[in-house]
């Protein structure tokens, strides 16, 4: 059976990736497709065949029908490849694991006995807290017992996490008012105490009541203080978050000369605040959700409600919610969970540390995703062009913006192709070099014992080595080592006759070009692809490079980032603002990216400078126009 | 129904233009100069005019019926079997054409830039890329072609402009070449290079706005005609018609001749990018179309699995000819001379038939529909 | 099969296969010997002597530590002595060259080709045909015709300035465009002219000046005091320029072909006339006899005002050729203190010069047409537009009508500027 299914699999073509990809087009335009799909029974049958096939391959399921149902229900949400979770020896049906992993926290024996709701009895509550947080083993959780007011002794205790909550706030805004300044009237009902405390005694800016342990637990874990009062079935949660963190610092990787210098930091709310302070509109929405089953991480999805395509927000949330992972560390990890197929080296979303860039993107209709303590925010979807843009392009006047973009684009080509072109020319097409230069290269190469390919590879590898070492070496000696590595090594290698001097120039230019890539991930992609091109050039010269470029282009053309083709608006062609390769004047940036299908396609009015007398719609022109109209009317 | 995705008008335009123009890097201009001598440049020009007329005749059928391409139209009026035969004939033509182009292309690569490499080492990676392209489908191919088209045209223009110092105006005389009537006939035969007409009629249903088909057709015919005219003109003026008849792959020869001072010379290897890209797009598109047509005829739900067997067939067929010159003879004597029957006459007849059969009433109805 | 295993096996297969499949054409620069100049000369029994000059890789600038085998300046250009082999064809000769040259011989950096007179007289196409098919050989190289032995040309070539033959060739092209003393032709033009109907090819001439060669030999021996011939006159014939010192090789004059056979040479002045008729004259300085002061000369810098108009009446027998030239000139130098800035004098000078040009050109064209039935002037090429169809052109035997063609040349000269001095300096 398994053999034949494997054979059958060879003849089954997995078209589902291409058929089911997500598109931002609204349903009206997609109607044709839908009707096609609807009428086509065969393709539906094929799909279910495929899923069946898949499941049998992974492990024999006890109930195929159920698997299929389960499969079809979670098909859209499935992001984890079930295969990876399975160790081949156990052969557990993957859906079982799926369910188990979802239930894992509740299965835990300590939590299983935790009651759902709070009890009236303070002591019971105290025990439950101790049980939940594994006291006294866990030293981070502090329980502070105290008594409210002197007239009526009302026992209470506060629970907070050491290190995650602000001691100042707890002392002066929770404990002090409750213990010293408070007085509960004796004739008050026990049930109303909680209310009174909340209304009169706790001056904290956010105080909430919860009666479920689940909520209380989450809030304590995120740094709030929970106040339990004797006789109350609810706990008061006072917002006392405040852990040690870096302040808003300077940009580290996306520095600009002209433009703001602040960068995101390791604090989610500070990050969202940085963006919100730039886009001050009530339409800017921040949706919070949590990812992670062992320990949840906050994920914030931010967008401008009146602009963004609602389908895009839905899709982003759908993908984030579907992530089933125990712990999510960083936006770099979230990125890998939600990026579109097919696999490739090019990043499908833009990670930036610049709040201004996020703000600009949000205003264009993009969605930003903030992850927990990550100082990098994801902007999605993204197109390839924006991976080589910087924030500064827009802040400079447009001729200079265009100039640096041209330089950067040439740098992109150089970083990708220069070493391979060198190999192709010297090894396959030496006629292209002017004769004198060719003779000089040949003379320099006469002492070199390696073929050009090896020479290039050696240099490229040592360069990557210097680069990697430069990052790892402690800051104090970093620059020195860089100089030692780059200069001395290069010089010595040339003098020793291991490499030819011209190659040092080629490799150095390539390295410089690679450093101009503004996006870290994209730079990585380019650097890795460079080696591929070196290989191709070594085998087929220009012909190989050409084929490589064409494959890469096709790859780019089929890449999608959240339903947006990554080469758009060039291919597929969409009307767009002059902001692709060159930077047009800012008053011509009228359209939002058409491939996002935003609710409002126009970014600004056609005439942004009505004061300018040379503009057709200027104030003067309008005045003159209205006067002439008036005059005409008067004449009549 | 095979799912292909939708195509924008610019992408389709670029795709059909490149697929039709790619042949000019191979032996087509040489064929023109054999038939037209000093007037060879007029042949594509005349063909262009013929094709514009033909397009004017058939375009209403395609433009007015939303979401119908030539195949579904034919089926509607010609029946299942008639359509299947017609489509299969086209498929066979495509197969032969693709195989011969693949052979000529790889032979050209071997002859020019990789002389010592065995032909299979050149052909196999190309075939793999071809499969990759055809496998990912028409959407990707069309996007790549639109992305590349400006650069490719720029490269061709550069190739012609950099040869300006070799140009001899006298070589376009005698003006009428082999004689006026012969010229007209050659012009008619050469309509076979305007493959774009056939291609558009197959792709019309994939357009987002089927009305765009009219514009795409006209502009692609004009672009293809102009490109062929200019290239042939430059070829003749640089090489003299006498020499042009004796030299295949003209654009490579033009590339070799570039000599503008000490630095701008010997650039022909750089131009390989242009002709390899064009050939790849053309062949990938033809391979895809082949699978699409076959899948359509046999009511297959998907066309992707067909890519592999067809690629293998093309590879095998491309090596049927014993040597390069035999392939060239086949190409210029048979394909170039008779391709017009399928490229032009077939869609013309079929669409005219549809036009007449659909009757006047329906046309009136459509016109009113269009007005509203 | 797991993904990793699949990937690993693919990498393995690639690693095994790639070195076998690829790299057929890979060649390292230092593994090749680039021929920069190729000479072909006649040898007995349909064989040829092929002389090749191979470029020797050398540093662009020798650093203090580097260098090594730099060699003295006296050494022949390019570093290596030319190698000559005898073979049936050029390509065979390349193979034979490799019996003594230790690196792969390649023609891709070829800059010029020198064809011996004896071979050129029998027809060059036979030897060029295989080369035009060969991919390493390109049509942008310069063609030289060498009266005498080709090997001698290579041995006596000692450029004053240039060190590489490629640059030397390029510089020659540039210089000759400005002097107009030699019509440099690229191989493509040369072959096209042979191949196309109604034209003939030309090529520039490289000749060894025996006197200078002798003199340099003497100098090497140590004997000084060579003087120029007492009764020598300025001479524009290839290989006969009156001079001492410099490169024993002279680049002067033009070879005229009939089909693919060399028929005659033109000297420097005639080459200028040829270029004037072809419309390829750049600003060229020429000396003319002073119309007022006999035995003295004026120097003019001449260029085309517009391309010459050539009218050929093919209907008449004999055919009538009329060449209308319109030239512009700057007055550069006048020996005598005659004031040529006066309008009447200018007119006089214009008339005398154009008369002289006209006579010389008429004589030249008639001589070449009548004597050799060759048309290096591109005159008949411009009659192509008089044929309606290609068949007419093909069947037209232009050489027959050249025999008794009647040529009239009409030169309009306009001296526009008179240099930077108005009236001449006079001594008192």
Contact A429 B113 (CB under 8 A): yes
Instruction: Give the confidence band of A107 by pLDDT, cuts at 50, 70, 90.
Output: very low
Q: Which residue of A has its CA nearest to B130?
A: A551
Chain C partners within 8 Å of A434 (Cβ): 166
Provide CB contacts within 8 A for B179, sequence distance 6+. C389, C390, C391
Least confident window among A630-634, B200-204, C300-304 = A630-634
Chain B partners within 8 Å of C197 (Cβ): 242
- Alpha-helical regions (H) of A93-153: 94-107, 109-112, 122-132
Residue spans of the domains in chain C: they are 31-55+76-219+233-266, 269-428
B245–chain C Cβ distance below 8 A for any pair: no
Q: How many CB pairs under 8 A join B and C?
A: 85
Does position A28 have pLDDT exceeding 50, yes or no?
Answer: no
Q: Which of B11, B137, B304 sits opposite A571 (nearest CB)?
A: B11
Does position B17 have pLDDT exceeding 70, yes or no?
Answer: yes
Instruction: Give the confidence band of A39 by pLDDT, cuts at 50, 70, 90.
Output: very low
Q: Which of A543, A558, A572 sits opposite B8 (nearest CB)?
A: A572
Q: How many CB pairs under 8 A join A and B?
A: 116
Q: In chain C, helix, strand, coil percent, each to 5?
A: 35, 25, 40
Chain C partners within 8 Å of A453 (Cβ): 26
Instruction: Give the confidence band of A409 by pLDDT, cuts at 50, 70, 90.
Output: very high
Contact A547 B139 (CB under 8 A): no
C102–chain A Cβ distance below 8 A for any pair: no
Return phi, psi of residue C51, to 5°. Answer: -110, 135
Beta strand C112-116 pairing with C32-43: parallel
Chain A partners within 8 Å of B273 (Cβ): 542, 545-546, 549
Q: Which residue of C has its CA nearest to B258?
A: C140
C381–chain B Cβ distance below 8 A for any pair: yes
Q: Which of A37, A550, A567 sits opposite B143 (nearest CB)?
A: A567
Can you tell me the mean pLDDT for A119-132? 87
Contact B125 A557 (CB under 8 A): no
Smallest Cα distance from B180 to chain C, Å = 8
Name the residue among B18, B6, B145, B91 with its Cα closest to residue B288: B91
pLDDT at B1: 52
B5–chain C Cβ distance below 8 A for any pair: no
Q: Which of A426, A428, A442 sits opposite C57 (nearest CB)?
A: A442
Name the residue among C417, C200, C193 with its Cα closest to residue C305: C417
Does position A69 have pLDDT exceeding 60, yes or no?
Answer: no
Smallest Cα distance from A445 to chain C, Å = 6
Which of A321-325, A579-583, B266-270 is the most confident on average?
A321-325
Can you tell me the mean pLDDT for A370-374? 89
Beta strand C284-289 pairing with C261-266: unpaired
Provide CB contacts within 8 A for C2, sequence distance 6+. none
pLDDT at B224: 93
A106–chain B Cβ distance below 8 A for any pair: no
Q: Which of A434, A442, A539 sits opposite C29 (nearest CB)?
A: A442
pLDDT at A36: 38
pLDDT at A636: 42
A591–chain C Cβ distance below 8 A for any pair: no
Residue spans of the domains in chain A: they are 2-107, 114-238, 268-390, 395-558
Whole-angstrom distance, CA of residue C328 vs CA of residue C291 = 18
A442–chain C Cβ distance below 8 A for any pair: yes
Q: Which candidate in C390, C391, C392, C396 is best for mutational testing of the B interface (most B CBs within 10 A)?
A: C390
A306–chain C Cβ distance below 8 A for any pair: no
Q: Which of B125, B143, B305 sits opposite A547 (nearest CB)?
A: B125
Chain A partners within 8 Å of C25 (Cβ): 428, 541
Q: What is the CATH number of domain C269-428?
A: 3.30.300.210
C57–chain A Cβ distance below 8 A for any pair: yes
Please state whether A334 falls in left (phi above 0), alpha (psi between -120 and 50) or beta.
alpha
Q: Which residue of C has its CA nearest to A536?
A: C22
Q: Which residue of A has its CA nearest to B139?
A: A558
Q: Which of C25, C138, C389 sits opposite B176 (nearest CB)?
A: C389
Q: Which candidate in B9, B143, B209, B288 is best for mutational testing of the A interface (most A CBs within 10 A)?
A: B143
Whole-angstrom distance, CA of residue C8 vs CA of residue C11 = 5
Mean pLDDT by 10 residues, chain C (428 residues): 77 67 74 89 88 78 39 46 88 89 88 90 87 85 89 85 85 87 89 87 89 79 69 80 84 89 89 88 85 85 88 85 89 81 85 89 89 87 85 85 87 86 78
Provide CB contacts within 8 A for B265, sequence distance 6+. B258, B259, C140
**How large is the ipTM?**
0.91
Contact A18 B137 (CB under 8 A): yes
Q: Which residue of C has its CA nearest to A455?
A: C28
Touching partners of A (3+ C-beta pairs < 8 Å): B, C
Chain A partners within 8 Å of B122 (Cβ): 540, 543
Contact A544 B125 (CB under 8 A): yes
pLDDT at C15: 66
Instruction: Give the confidence band of B302 by pLDDT, cuts at 50, 70, 90.
Output: confident
Q: Which of B111, B121, B175 sits opposite C24 (nearest CB)?
A: B121
- A237: enclosing H helix or E strand: strand A235-238
Smallest Cα distance from B142 to chain C, Å = 30
Instruction: Give the confidence band of A304 by pLDDT, cuts at 50, 70, 90.
Output: very high
Instruction: Give the confidence band of A88 by pLDDT, cuts at 50, 70, 90.
Output: very low
Q: Which of C139, C192, C387 sits opposite B240 (nearest CB)?
A: C192
pLDDT in tens, B318-347: 888 888 888 888 777 777 778 888 888 888
pLDDT at A539: 86
- Alpha-helical regions (H) of C107-209: 117-122, 125-133, 150-156, 165-179, 187-195
Name the residue among C145, C170, C151 with its Cα closest to residue C252: C145
Does position A228 have pLDDT exceeding 60, yes or no?
Answer: yes
A438–chain C Cβ distance below 8 A for any pair: yes
Beta strand A367-371 pairing with A377-380: antiparallel
DSSP labels for B318-340? HTTSSSHHHHHHIIIIIIHHHHH
Name the residue among C28, B273, C24 with its Cα closest to residue A542: B273
Contact A451 C28 (CB under 8 A): yes
- For chain A, the average pLDDT equals 78
Does position A422 have pLDDT exceeding 90, yes or no?
Answer: yes
Whole-angstrom distance, CA of residue A278 vs CA of residue C252 = 77
A553–chain B Cβ distance below 8 A for any pair: yes
pLDDT at A630: 61
Strands of the sheet containing A297-304, edge to edge, are: A284-291, A297-304, A367-371, A377-380, A350-352
With beta carbons less than 8 A apart as the criterion, state whether A206 and A197 touch: no
pLDDT at A552: 93
For chain B, list the domains and their CATH numbers.
9-371 (1.20.1740.10)
Contact A444 C25 (CB under 8 A): no
Smallest Cα distance from A517 to chain C, Å = 29
Touching partners of B (3+ C-beta pairs < 8 Å): A, C
Whole-angstrom distance, CA of residue B35 vs CA of residue B44 = 11
Contact B111 C135 (CB under 8 A): yes
Instruction: Give the confidence band of A366 by pLDDT, cuts at 50, 70, 90.
Output: very high
Contact B174 C140 (CB under 8 A): no
Provide the sign of the torsion angle of the four alpha carbons C335, C338, C341, C346, taken in this order.
negative
Whole-angstrom distance, CA of residue B270 vs CA of residue A425 = 10
- For chain B, the average pLDDT equals 84
């Amino acid at each position: 059976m398994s053999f034949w299914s494997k054979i059958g699999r060879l003849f089954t073509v997995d078209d589902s990736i291409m058929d089911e990809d997500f598109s931002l087009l609204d349903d009206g335009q997609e109607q044709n497709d839908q009707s096609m799909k609807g009428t086509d029974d065969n393709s539906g049958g094929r799909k279910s065949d495929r899923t069946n096939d898949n499941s049998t391959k992974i492990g024999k399921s006890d109930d195929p029908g159920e698997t299929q149902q389960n499969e079809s229900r979670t098909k859209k949400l499935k992001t984890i490849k079930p295969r990876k979770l399975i160790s081949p020896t156990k052969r557990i049906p993957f859906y079982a694991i799926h369910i188990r992993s979802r239930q894992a926290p509740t299965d835990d024996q300590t939590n299983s006995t935790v009651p759902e709701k709070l009890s009236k009895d303070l002591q019971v509550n105290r025990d439950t807290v101790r049980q939940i947080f594994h006291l006294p083993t866990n030293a981070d959780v502090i329980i502070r017992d105290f008594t409210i007011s002197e007239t009526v002794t009302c026992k209470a205790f506060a629970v907070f996490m050491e290190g995650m909550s602000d001691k100042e706030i707890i002392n002066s805004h929770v404990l002090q008012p409750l213990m010293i300044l408070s007085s509960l009237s004796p004739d008050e009902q026990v049930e109303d105490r909680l209310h009174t405390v909340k209304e009169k005694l706790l001056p904290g800016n956010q105080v909430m009541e919860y009666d479920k342990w689940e909520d209380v637990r989450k809030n304590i874990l995120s740094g709030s203080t929970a106040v339990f009062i004797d006789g109350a079935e609810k706990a008061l949660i006072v917002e006392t978050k405040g852990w040690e963190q870096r302040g808003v610092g300077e940009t580290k990787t996306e520095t600009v000369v002209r433009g703001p210098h602040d960068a995101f930091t390791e604090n989610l709310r500070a990050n969202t605040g940085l963006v919100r302070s730039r886009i001050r509109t009530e339409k800017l929405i921040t949706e919070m959700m949590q990812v992670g089953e062992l320990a949840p991480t906050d994920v914030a999805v931010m967008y401008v409600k009146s602009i963004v395509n609602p389908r895009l927000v839905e899709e982003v949330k759908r993908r984030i919610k579907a992530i089933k992972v125990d712990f999510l560390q960083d936006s770099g990890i979230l990125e890998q969970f939600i990026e579109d197929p097919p696999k490739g080296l090019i990043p499908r979303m833009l990670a930036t540390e610049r709040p201004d860039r996020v703000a600009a993107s949000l205003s264009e209709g993009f969605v930003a995703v903030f992850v927990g303590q990550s100082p990098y925010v994801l902007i999605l979807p993204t197109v390839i062009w924006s991976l080589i843009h910087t924030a500064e392009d827009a802040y400079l006047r447009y001729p200079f913006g265009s100039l640096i973009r041209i330089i950067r684009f040439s740098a992109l080509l150089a970083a990708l192709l220069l070493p391979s072109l060198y190999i192709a020319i010297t090894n396959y097409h030496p006629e292209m070099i002017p004769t004198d230069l060719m003779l000089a290269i040949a003379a320099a190469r006469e002492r070199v014992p390696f073929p050009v390919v090896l020479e290039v590879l050696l240099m490229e590898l040592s360069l990557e080595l210097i680069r990697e070492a430069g990052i790892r070496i402690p800051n104090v000696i970093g620059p020195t080592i860089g100089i030692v590595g780059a200069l001395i090594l290069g010089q010595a290698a040339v003098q020793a006759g291991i490499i030819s001097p011209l190659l040092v120039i080629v490799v150095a230019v390539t390295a410089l070009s690679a450093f101009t890539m503004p996006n870290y991930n994209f730079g990585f992609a380019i650097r890795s692809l460079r080696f591929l091109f070196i290989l191709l050039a070594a085998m087929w010269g220009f012909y190989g490079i050409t084929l490589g470029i064409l494959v890469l282009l096709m790859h780019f053309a089929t890449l999608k980032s959240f339903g947006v083709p990554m080469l758009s608006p060039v291919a597929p062609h969409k009307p767009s603002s002059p902001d692709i390769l060159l930077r047009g004047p800012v008053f011509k940036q009228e359209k939002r990216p058409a491939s996002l299908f935003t609710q409002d396609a126009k970014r600004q009015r056609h005439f942004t400078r009505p004061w300018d007398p040379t503009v057709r719609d200027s104030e003067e022109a309008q005045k003159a126009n209205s006067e002439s109209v008036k005059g005409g009317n008067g004449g009549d | 129904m095979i799912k292909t995705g939708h195509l924008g008008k610019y992408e389709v335009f670029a795709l059909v233009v490149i697929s039709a123009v790619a042949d000019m890097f191979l032996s087509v201009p040489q064929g023109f100069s054999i038939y037209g001598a000093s007037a060879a440049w007029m042949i594509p020009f005349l063909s262009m005019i013929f094709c514009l007329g033909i397009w004017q005749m058939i375009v209403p059928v395609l433009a007015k019926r939303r979401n119908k391409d030539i195949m579904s139209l034919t089926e509607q009026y010609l029946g299942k079997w008639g359509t299947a035969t017609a489509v299969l004939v086209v498929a066979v033509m495509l197969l032969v054409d693709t195989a011969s182009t693949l052979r000529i292309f790889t032979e050209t690569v071997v002859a020019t830039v990789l002389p010592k490499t065995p032909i299979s080492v050149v052909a196999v990676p190309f075939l793999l890329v071809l499969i990759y392209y055809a496998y990912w489908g028409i959407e990707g191919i069309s996007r790549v072609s639109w992305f590349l088209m400006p650069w490719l045209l720029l490269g061709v223009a550069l190739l012609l402009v950099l040869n300006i110092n070799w140009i001899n105006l006298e070589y376009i005389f005698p003006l009428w070449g082999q004689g006026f009537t012969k010229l007209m006939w050659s012009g008619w035969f050469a309509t076979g290079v305007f493959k774009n007409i056939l291609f558009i009629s197959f792709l019309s249903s994939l357009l987002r706005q089927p009305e765009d088909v009219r514009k795409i057709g006209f502009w692609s015919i004009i672009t293809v005609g102009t490109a062929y005219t200019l290239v042939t003109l430059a070829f003749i003026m640089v090489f003299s018609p006498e020499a042009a008849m004796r030299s295949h792959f003209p654009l490579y020869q033009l590339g070799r001749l570039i000599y503008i001072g000490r630095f701008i010379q010997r650039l022909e290897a750089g131009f390989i990018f242009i002709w390899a890209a064009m050939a790849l797009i053309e062949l990938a598109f033809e391979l895809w179309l082949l699978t699409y047509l076959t899948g359509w005829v046999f009511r297959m739900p998907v066309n992707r699995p067909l890519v592999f067997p067809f690629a293998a067939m093309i590879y095998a067929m491309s090596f049927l000819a014993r040597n390069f010159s035999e392939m060239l003879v086949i190409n210029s004597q048979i394909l170039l001379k008779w391709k017009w029957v399928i490229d032009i006459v077939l869609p013309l007849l079929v669409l005219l038939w549809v036009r007449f059969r659909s009757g006047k009433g329906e046309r009136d109805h459509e016109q009113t529909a269009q007005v509203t | 099969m797991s993904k990793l295993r699949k990937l690993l096996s693919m990498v393995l297969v690639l690693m095994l296969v790639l070195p076998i499949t690829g790299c057929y054409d890979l060649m390292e620069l230092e593994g090749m010997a680039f021929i920069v100049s190729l000479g072909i000369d006649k040898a007995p029994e349909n064989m040829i002597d092929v002389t090749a000059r191979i470029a020797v890789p050398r540093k662009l600038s020798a650093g203090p530590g580097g260098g090594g085998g730099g060699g003295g300046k006296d050494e022949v250009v390019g570093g290596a002595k030319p190698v000559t082999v005898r073979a049936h064809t050029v390509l065979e000769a390349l193979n034979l060259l490799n019996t003594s040259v230790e690196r792969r011989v390649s023609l891709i950096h070829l800059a010029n080709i020198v064809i011996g007179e004896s071979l050129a007289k029998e027809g060059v196409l036979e030897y060029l045909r295989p080369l035009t098919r060969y991919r390493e050989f390109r049509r942008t190289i310069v063609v030289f015709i060498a009266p005498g032995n080709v090997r001698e040309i290579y041995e006596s070539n000692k450029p004053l300035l240039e060190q590489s033959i490629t640059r030397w060739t390029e510089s020659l092209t540039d210089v000759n465009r400005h002097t107009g003393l030699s019509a440099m032709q690229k191989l493509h033009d040369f072959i096209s002219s042979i191949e196309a109907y109604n034209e003939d090819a030309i090529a520039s001439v490289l000749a060894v000046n025996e006197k200078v060669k002798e003199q340099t030999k003497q100098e090497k021996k140590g004997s000084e005091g060579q003087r120029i011939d007492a009764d020598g006159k300025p001479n524009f014939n290839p290989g006969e320029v009156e001079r001492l010192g410099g490169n024993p090789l002279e680049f002067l004059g033009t070879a005229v072909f009939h089909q693919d056979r060399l028929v005659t040479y033109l000297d420097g002045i005639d080459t200028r006339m040829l270029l004037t008729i072809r419309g390829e004259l750049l600003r060229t300085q020429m000396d003319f006899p002073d119309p007022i002061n006999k035995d003295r000369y004026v120097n003019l810098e001449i260029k085309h005002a517009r391309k010459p108009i050539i009218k050929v009446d093919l209907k008449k027998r004999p055919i009538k050729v009329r060449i209308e030239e319109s030239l512009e000139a700057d007055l550069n130098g006048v020996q005598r203190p005659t004031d040529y800035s006066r309008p009447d004098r200018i007119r006089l000078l214009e008339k005398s010069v154009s008369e002289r040009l006209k006579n010389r050109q008429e004589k030249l064209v008639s001589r070449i047409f009548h004597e050799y039935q060759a048309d290096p002037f591109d005159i008949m090429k411009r009659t192509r537009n008089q044929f309606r169809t290609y068949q007419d052109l093909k069947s037209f035997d232009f050489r027959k009508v050249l025999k008794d063609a009647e040529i009239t040349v009409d030169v309009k000269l306009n001296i526009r500027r008179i240099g930077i001095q108005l009236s001449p300096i006079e001594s008192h």
